């Protein structure tokens, strides 16, 4: 099958598109900026909540090992993203990578899928931000009415405000976005480090015993609420023991989601071939270390059987006579969620920007602002949609869609690295995944296994969303693609090939 019939967009064409004046982004980001973006989006409420949930219900003190296992799984995917991003330094992340290896249809599917991770994720986090803000205001004695703030709000005003404010920051330029993110990340890192340093002095060795509690049979779900792996194979997960460590890894994995978004800023990076791998892998290493450190501190301060599942860190400090840290942790969570909203919306706007540049979405949407150098139209649309979702729709039951969308992207990127190695071995690669095809296959299998641990109802919603995407592609994307218009992709490719000869 030829590239033309499969509609594969060559790496050269992808890079050439970045030089179009009306679609040219400004290269202002360094490896440090990218690492800050990665840390900013990875560290959210997961570090403040999931530690207690997993330790008390699934893994015990061995939750630290669960974080290590999840970090390794993410590390496999991160290696694949790093090679792709350094080889194809173009906006769009998994969408662009898939276009270069698996063709236009798969690229559209992954672009459509990333909406679940990015736009829906930003809306969900905005709702969480509203809840933490109201909790902090409550500690100060000035709570907002629950009708306008928190997860049960009729119209969630703070969630709408944070989404729109972050939209404004993104429109005003990538450099401003990186500076705002750096300030926010600095605040939450100081708080996380403070929690670790202070908490160490209240750790009791007895709380680590038993480090791996004896295995117990887990509770089996039923119907669509059961994990798909249970429905298909009758497999009932265990709690505690070695099985509990891996079950915990499947849960805490979702605290790592976000490092892949660093790749969406490839086109705005000064030296993408070196800086992107550093930013992707560096942010993941930093966050894994912090997650393990926090989990060891919290289970050392309070026995895992007594941990809170809603606010474990705050409760652990309260149990040792330090209630002041409850407010400090709320500030850290609020700062953490602010940067997550910003970077998720950044990623979403860059994916849609890449799709519009390929005419799979209306190309006028991808126009870059002449002064700020950002895709302002798509950013505004993204911000309004996220604000509307966060303000008016209860999103708690849809949160798993963010996870399945991310894992699906991991699977395709891992497969794509192997394919591009075989189809374009001559491409310069400043970063190379070791042990190909073994590591990409392990990455794809590990991500797919975690997908199987999600409920059947999540899979059903995912399939419906994908079906809607296929309809949209058939009605608009395929007909308007640059492969189909006169002087489009194929003519441009031929002209480029002639010039190279």
- Prior bond of 27 cis (ω within 30°): no
Cβ atoms within 10 Å of 470's Cβ, excluding its own: 15
Tell me if 501 is assigned to some domain: no
Tell me if 308 is assigned to some domain: yes
What does the pLDDT read at residue 267? 85
What does the pLDDT read at residue 492? 45
Q: Structurally, how many domains does the chain consist of?
A: 1
Percent of the chain with pLDDT over 70: 92
- pLDDT (tens digit per residue) in 394-409: 765 566 678 788 889 8
Q: Compute the average pLDDT of residues 258-278.
A: 86
pLDDT-based confidence at residue 452 (cuts at 50, 70, 90): confident
Does pLDDT of 489 surpass 60?
no
What does the pLDDT read at residue 283? 92
Domain, as residue range, for 481: 28-489
- pLDDT (tens digit per residue) in 52-107: 889 998 899 999 999 999 899 889 999 999 998 888 888 888 899 999 898 999 99
What does the pLDDT read at residue 279? 92
Q: Compute the average pLDDT of residues 283-301.
A: 93
- pLDDT (tens digit per residue) in 121-166: 899 889 888 888 887 888 788 889 988 987 778 899 999 999 999 9
Tell me if 17 is assigned to some domain: no
Is residue 389 exposed (0-12), middle (13-18) or buried (19+ Cβ within 10 Å)? Answer: buried
Tell me if 139 is assigned to some domain: yes
Instruction: Choose the weakest-confidence range: 19-28, 194-203, 385-394, 487-496.
Output: 487-496
Does pLDDT of 39 surpass 60?
yes
Tell me if 7 is assigned to some domain: no
Write the CA distances from 138 to 3, 142, 356, 486, integer angstroms: 59, 5, 44, 61
Tell me if 1 is assigned to some domain: no
451: CATH: 1.20.1740.10
Tell me if 140 is assigned to some domain: yes
Structure tokens given for 379: 């950013």
What does the pLDDT read at residue 2? 40
- pLDDT (tens digit per residue) in 1-16: 344 346 888 888 888 8
Task: Specify the higher pLDDT residue, 419 or 329.
Answer: 419
Does pLDDT of 438 surpass 90?
yes
Structure tokens given for 194: 């403070």
Cα within 13 Å of Cα(450), Cβ side: 30
**Which of these, 388, 381, 372, 382, lies nearest to 161 by C-alpha position?**
388
Tell me if 481 is assigned to some domain: yes
Percent of the chain with pLDDT over 90: 40
Average pLDDT, the chain: 86
Q: How far apart are CA 251 and CA 112, in angstroms?
A: 24
Q: Compute the average pLDDT of residues 386-401.
A: 78
What does the pLDDT read at residue 61? 95
What does the pLDDT read at residue 167? 96
């Amino acid at each position: 099958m030829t590239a033309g019939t499969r509609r594969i967009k060559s790496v050269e064409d992808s890079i050439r598109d970045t030089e179009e004046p009306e679609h040219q982004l400004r290269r202002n980001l360094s490896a440090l900026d990218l690492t800050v973006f990665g840390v900013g989006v990875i560290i959210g409420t997961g570090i403040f909540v999931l530690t207690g949930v997993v330790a008390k219900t699934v893994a015990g003190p061995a939750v630290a090992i669960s974080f290590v296992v999840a970090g390794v799984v993410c590390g496999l995917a991160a290696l694949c993203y790093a090679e792709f991003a350094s080889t194809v330094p173009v906006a769009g992340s998994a969408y662009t990578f898939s276009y270069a290896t698996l063709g236009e249809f798969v690229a559209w599917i992954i672009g459509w899928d990333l909406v679940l991770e990015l736009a829906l994720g930003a809306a969900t986090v905005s709702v969480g931000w509203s809840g933490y803000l109201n909790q902090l205001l409550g500690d100060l004695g000035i709570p907002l009415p629950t009708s306008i703030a928190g997860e049960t709000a009729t119209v969630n005003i703070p969630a709408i405000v944070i989404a729109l404010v972050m939209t404004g920051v993104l429109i005003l330029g990538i450099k401003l976005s990186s500076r705002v993110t750096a300030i926010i990340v600095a605040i939450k890192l100081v708080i996380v480090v403070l929690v670790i340093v202070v908490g160490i002095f209240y750790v009791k060795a007895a709380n680590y015993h038993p480090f791996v509690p004896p295995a117990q049979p887990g509770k089996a779900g039923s119907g669509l609420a059961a994990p798909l792996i249970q429905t298909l194979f009758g497999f009932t997960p265990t709690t505690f023991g070695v099985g509990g460590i891996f079950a915990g890894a499947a849960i805490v994995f979702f605290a790592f989601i976000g490092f892949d978004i660093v790749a969406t800023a490839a086109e705005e990076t000064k030296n993408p071939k070196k800086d992107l791998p550093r930013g992707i892998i560096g942010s993941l290493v930093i966050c894994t270390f912090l997650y393990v450190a926090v989990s060891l501190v919290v289970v050392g301060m309070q026995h895992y059987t007594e941990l809170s599942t809603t606010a474990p860190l705050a409760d652990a400090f309260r149990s040792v006579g330090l209630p002041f840290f409850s407010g400090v942790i709320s500030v850290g969570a609020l700062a953490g969620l602010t940067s997550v909203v910003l970077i998720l919306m950044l990623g979403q706007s860059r994916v849609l920007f890449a799709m519009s540049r390929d005419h799979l979405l209306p190309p006028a949407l991808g126009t870059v602002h002449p002064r700020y150098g950002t895709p302002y139209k798509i950013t505004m649309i993204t911000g309004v949609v996220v604000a509307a979702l966060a303000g008016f729709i209860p999103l708690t039951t849809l949160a798993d869609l963010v996870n399945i969308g991310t894992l699906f992207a991991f699977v395709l990127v891992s497969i794509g690295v192997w394919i591009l190695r075989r189809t374009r071995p001559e491409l310069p690669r400043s970063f190379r995944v070791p042990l190909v095809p073994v590591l990409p296959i392990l990455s794809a299998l590990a991500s797919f296994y975690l997908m199987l641990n999600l409920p059947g109802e999540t899979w059903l919603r995912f399939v419906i969303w994908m079906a809607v995407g296929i309809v949209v592609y058939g009605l608009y994307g395929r007909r308007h693609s640059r492969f189909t218009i006169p002087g489009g992709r194929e003519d441009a490719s031929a002209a480029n090939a002639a010039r190279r000869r």
